[in-house]
Every structure is written in structure tokens, then in C-alpha cells.
């Protein structure tokens, strides 16, 4: 188990490139199952979740490796249609392999992903949609057994909530299905668009990605492609948070401004200056931050649930009160107790957190309990007086590539021990 030791109070300055998006890389790695030949993925972040996906691909019989900074995946040799429990448990998003494996082999057996650190994460919308496409699914003893021996059929699917994972699974099941699939109330996240760009480049016919209605005309085969994964908007928001708390002045390269359209105004309201030009974001923070406007997490293009925790660390030292409403996950305030140990003043009632900004935070031993919560604790530690030790770094490493090196290159004093 590794820990981060942070000596707070160092102003962040300098330039870093934003890593590739985890939430694009994982569904795209699942999508390779549907292709013939060798795919080359550039800008694929080095993360434990990506590693888990590569191990699933290898277990299925695919050739998946890293070479010269790219990830190469060839699924011609796929010979398994089952993901063992130990691999499913490593990563909740392994459920996006379901649509792809079912489509490729006509059956799939996966253990039920169950709950996770964010609370219950049901997959009823995924299963309902696959059933509508002709899959027979049984759920027994925590195992999902799915069959579509005669292939999947296009269908009209109305999602009651624009679930990211369900939209991805339906797209993966539909691209090689017989006929046309229409997803109504589809998720509009940039990572959905990236998945569709990958698949369209491979020969799929997907229309409307990024909009509420996606139409997919099934094709008979997909070929391998080279693809550049989009930059990670949540890592960008975390680095902006780190610069904000330290009164920093940083440049982030490889940023797509539109992907941050709900995040940038929150920082601007606190008095930070944000300028994006040609994919470079210049970000500078004032001496004292104003409180944030009401932050309500929503499906894209609303404020992302994944950015809630790091921004709450910023709010904890703003000059006034900020309010957060978490609308996506039940259990996404686990960082609050630990931020309080660092001196933050935060009250939580159900899905609302009221953050009364304090003048300063102080170092303490804290424990991360989920990925974005870990990012929040590190952000707070960067400004806490003295030394902060953060355990639970394995959560951070699911989504942030070499984060201690990235922060150190900007002048932070962070060591991994
Ligand atoms: C969610 C986020 C996504 C983020 C990811 C990782 C949203 C809308 N989605 O995606 O941006 O990158 O977490 O942290 O913010 N739900 C059901 N039944 C289902 C599927 C989902 O009830 O079958 C519910 C979930 O319990 C949750 C909500 O829908 O309350 C959002 O779920 P979903 O978008 O599927 O989550 P992820 O795909 O994990």
C-alpha cells in the first residue's frame, strides 16, 4: 500500500500536458473486441484500470500490449466469452465488456459488478436494453449469463436516465447487430463521442453521438484502426483545482475547452483567470478565492460528478460559503470526513454539502476511499500547513497517471512512499 507525503504551501507554476481520458480508454479497449486486426491507441493513460482492461483482453485470448508509448490490441485470437470474478471485481467499468463480448461471440458470462465505493451501481438499464435487442439474460448466484445465439437485433431503446455505461454497452452491442438501433435519452459525455469516433473510423455507422438521440445502423464487420484518445477533462479540472488552492499560475496543454464548459465558469466565479487557446489553457489564481456558485452535478453538459470532490477541496479555502448538490451517486461525499481532518468546515445532509471556507488547512494523516476523493485530499494537502500523509493511493492510481510526478514538475512537494 503506498502513501503520498505532501508538504503543503508550495505555489504551482509551469506547464504540463493533460493525460488521455480514462473514461474514453476503457470503453474503447472493450470496443477493440469487435474489430479484426491490430488497433493502435495513442495517448492511452498508464493507469491500474487500463491495466485491468488489458488483462481482461488477454484473458479473452486477445493480444494486448504496450509498445513505444502506444497500446496495441489485436482481438483476432479471442476464444473466451467469460470474465472471471477476480477480474470483474478489479474495476466496475468492466461491465462495458458485456455488450462487446455478447456481440462478438453470441454469449457472455460475467459476474455481477455489484456495489462499489460510490454506493450501489445498478446495471438494470444495460440489461433491459440488451434484452430488447434479443439477448436472453439470467442472473443467478451473482453471475450474469447472456445469450444471443442468433445475433443481436436493432431496437428502439428509451433510457430513463442518460447512463454513460448503459449508452456505451448499447452502442457496443448495436454496431454489429442486425438492423438499426435508436437510443433515446442517450448520454452525451465527450467520452461517448470518443468511443463513437473510434467505432466509426473502424467502419461502424453511428449518428448523433454527443446528442440525446443516437442512431446506429448495424454493419457486418469492423476493422482495426489507429486512434488518439481525448484528453482527460477530470484530470484537467483536478490540476486547475491544485493551481487554484496554491495561488498558482499554470498552463495545461492538450485541453478541449468545450469539455470543461461547466467547470471553467465555477473557477472564474472564484476569481481565477482561465484562457484557452489552441488547446493550451492558461490558468492563474488570485490571492484569495471567492466562494463558488451553487455546484450541482448533472449528466453532461452539466457539472461532472467526477469533478465534485476536487472542487470541494478548493471551496474549503474560499472566502465564504459554497454549496454542492450531488445528483448522480448516493455515496459521493466520502472525502468530506477526511477534508474535515485537514481543517475544512463542511456540513453534509443527504445529497447537499455546505462548505464554509476557512482561512487555512493544516496537515494530518488522511485516507482516500475512492478515486476522486483521493484527488480532493491531495488538492487540499497542497495548501495545508505542514505535512499531510494520504493513504489509499491505489484509488488515485486508477485514474491519475504518475500524479506525484506531474505535481512535482509544477513545484509541489509530493513524495510517494
Ligand atoms: C458515471 C458518470 C460519468 C463518470 C463515471 C465515473 C454521469 C451521468 N455519469 O458514469 O460521467 O465518468 O460515473 O465516475 O455523471 N444507473 C441506474 N441503472 C443503470 C445504470 C445507471 O440506475 O443501469 C444510475 C446510477 O446508479 C447512477 C446514474 O444512473 O445514479 C449514473 O450512472 P451511469 O452514468 O451509468 O454511471 P457511469 O457509467 O458509471
Q: Which residue of 92, 113, 117, 161 sits with most ligand 1 atoms within 8 Å of its CB, as the best mutation to test the pocket?
A: 161
Instruction: Decide: 125 in ligand 1 pocket, CB within 6 A.
Output: yes
Instruction: Decide: 124 in ligand 1 pocket, CB within 6 A.
Output: yes
d(CA 388, ligand 1 centre) in Å: 32
Cα separation of 133 and 92, whole Å? 23
- Give the pLDDT confidence score for residue 197 in this predicted structure: 98
Ligand 1, closest atom to CA 298? Answer: 15
Instruction: Decide: 326 in ligand 1 pocket, CB within 6 A.
Output: no
Cα–Cα distances in angstroms (integers) from residue 407 to residues 73, 104, 221, 327, 412, in the given order: 31, 42, 44, 30, 5
d(CA 91, ligand 1 centre) in Å: 14
- Give the pLDDT confidence score for residue 119 in this predicted structure: 67
- Clarify whether 79 is annotated catalytic: no
CA-based R_g, the chain, Å: 21
Instruction: Decide: 161 in ligand 1 pocket, CB within 6 A.
Output: yes
Q: Which of 116, 196, 318, 365 is catalytic?
A: 116
Q: Which three cell numbers stand for residue 361?
A: 488547512
Q: Is 351 exposed, middle or buried (0-12, 13-18, 19+ CB in 10 A)?
A: middle
d(CA 159, ligand 1 centre) in Å: 12
Cβ neighbours of residue 56 under 8 Å, at least 6 residues apart? 83, 87, 94, 97
d(CA 163, ligand 1 centre) in Å: 5
- Give the pLDDT confidence score for residue 47 in this predicted structure: 95
Q: Which residue of 91, 164, 194 sits with most ligand 1 atoms within 8 Å of its CB, as the best mutation to test the pocket?
A: 164
Instruction: Decide: 375 in ligand 1 pocket, CB within 6 A.
Output: no
Per residue of the chain (417 residues), give pLDDT as tens: 889 999 999 999 999 999 999 999 999 999 999 999 999 999 999 999 999 999 999 999 999 999 999 999 999 999 999 998 888 888 878 899 999 999 999 999 998 775 566 666 789 999 999 999 999 999 888 899 999 989 999 999 999 999 999 999 999 999 999 999 999 999 999 999 999 999 999 999 999 999 999 999 999 999 999 999 999 999 999 999 999 999 999 999 999 999 999 999 999 999 999 999 999 999 999 999 999 999 999 999 999 999 999 999 999 999 999 999 999 988 899 999 999 999 999 999 999 999 999 999 999 999 999 999 999 999 999 999 999 999 999 999 999 999 999 999 999 999 999
Pair 206, 215: CB distance under 8 Å? yes
Pair 242, 9: CB distance under 8 Å? no
- Phi, psi (degrees; rounded to nearest 5) at 277: -145, 130
- Judged by DSSP in three states, 46 sits in coil
The CB-based long-range contact list for 127-131 (8 Å cut-off, 24+ gap) reads 129/155, 129/157, 129/159, 129/166, 129/169, 129/170, 129/173, 129/183, 130/98, 130/99, 130/102, 130/169, 130/170, 130/173
Q: Which residue has a Cα nearest atom 2 of ligand 1? A: 164
d(CA 116, ligand 1 centre) in Å: 12
Ligand 1, closest atom to CA 163? Answer: 34
d(CA 287, ligand 1 centre) in Å: 37
Instruction: Decide: 373 in ligand 1 pocket, CB within 6 A.
Output: no
Q: Which residue has a Cα nearest atom 39 of ligand 1? A: 165
Pair 239, 310: CB distance under 8 Å? no
- Give the pLDDT confidence score for residue 120 in this predicted structure: 67
Q: Which of 183, 192, 185, 184 is nearest to 164 (CA)?
A: 192
Ligand 1, closest atom to CA 306? Answer: 14
- Give the pLDDT confidence score for residue 116 in this predicted structure: 63
Instruction: Decide: 299 in ligand 1 pocket, CB within 6 A.
Output: yes
* Domains within the chain, CATH numbers bracketed: 3-19+231-416 (3.65.10.10), 22-228 (3.65.10.10)
Amino acid at each position: 500500500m503506498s502513501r503520498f507525503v505532501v508538504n503543503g504551501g508550495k505555489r504551482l507554476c509551469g506547464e504540463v500536458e493533460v493525460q488521455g481520458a480514462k473514461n474514453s480508454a476503457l470503453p474503447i479497449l472493450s470496443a477493440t473486441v469487435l474489430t479484426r486486426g491490430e488497433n493502435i491507441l495513442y495517448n492511452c493513460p498508464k493507469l491500474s484500470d487500463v491495466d485491468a482492461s488489458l488483462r481482461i483482453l488477454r484473458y479473452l485470448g486477445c493480444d494486448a500490449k504496450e509498445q513505444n508509448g502506444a497500446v496495441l490490441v489485436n482481438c483476432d485470437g479471442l476464444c473466451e466469452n467469460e470474465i472471471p470474478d477476480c477480474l470483474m471485481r478489479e474495476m466496475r467499468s468492466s461491465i462495458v465488456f458485456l455488450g462487446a463480448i455478447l456481440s462478438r461471440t453470441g454469449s457472455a458470462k460475467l459476474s455481477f459488478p455489484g456495489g462499489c465505493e460510490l454506493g450501489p451501481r445498478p446495471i438494470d438499464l444495460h440489461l433491459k436494453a440488451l434484452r430488447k435487442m434479443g439477448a436472453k439474460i439470467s442472473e443467478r448466484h451473482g453471475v450474469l449469463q447472456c445469450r444471443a445465439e442468433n445475433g443481436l437485433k436493432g431496437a428502439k431503446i428509451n433510457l430513463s436516465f442518460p447512463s454513460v455505461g448503459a449508452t456505451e454497452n448499447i452502442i457496443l452491442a448495436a454496431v454489429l447487430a442486425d438492423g438499426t438501433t435508436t437510443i433515446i435519452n442517450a448520454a452525451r459525455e465527450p467520452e461517448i463521442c470518443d468511443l463513437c469516433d473510434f467505432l466509426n473510423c473502424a467502419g461502424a455507422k453511428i449518428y448523433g453521438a454527443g446528442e440525446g438521440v443516437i442512431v446506429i445502423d448495424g454493419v457486418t464487420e469492423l476493422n482495426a484502426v489507429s486512434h488518439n484518445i481525448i484528453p482527460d477533462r477530470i484530470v484537467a479540472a483536478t490540476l486547475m483545482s491544485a493551481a487554484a488552492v496554491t495561488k498558482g499560475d499554470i498552463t495545461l496543454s492538450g485541453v478541449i475547452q468545450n469539455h470543461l464548459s461547466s467547470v471553467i465558469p465555477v473557477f472564474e466565479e472564484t476569481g481565477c483567470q482561465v484562457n484557452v487557446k489552441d488547446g493550451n489553457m492558461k490558468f492563474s489564481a488570485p490571492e484569495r478565492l471567492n466562494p463558488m456558485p451553487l455546484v450541482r452535478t448533472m449528466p453532461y453538459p452539466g457539472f461532472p460528478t467526477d469533478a465534485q470532490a476536487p472542487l470541494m477541496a478548493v471551496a474549503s479555502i474560499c472566502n465564504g460559503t459554497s454549496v454542492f448538490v450531488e445528483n448522480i451517486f448516493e455515496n459521493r461525499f466520502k472525502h468530506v470526513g477526511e477534508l474535515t481532518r485537514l481543517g475544512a468546515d463542511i456540513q453534509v445532509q443527504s445529497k447537499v454539502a455546505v462548505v464554509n471556507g476557512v482561512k487555512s488547512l493544516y496537515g494530518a494523516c488522511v485516507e482516500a476511499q475512492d478515486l476522486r476523493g483521493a484527488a480532493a485530499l491531495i488538492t487540499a494537502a497542497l495548501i495545508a500547513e505542514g505535512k499531510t500523509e494520504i493513504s489509499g493511493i491505489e484509488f488515485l492510481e486508477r485514474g491519475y497517471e504518475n500524479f506525484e510526478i506531474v505535481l512535482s514538475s509544477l513545484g509541489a512537494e509530493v513524495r510517494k512512499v
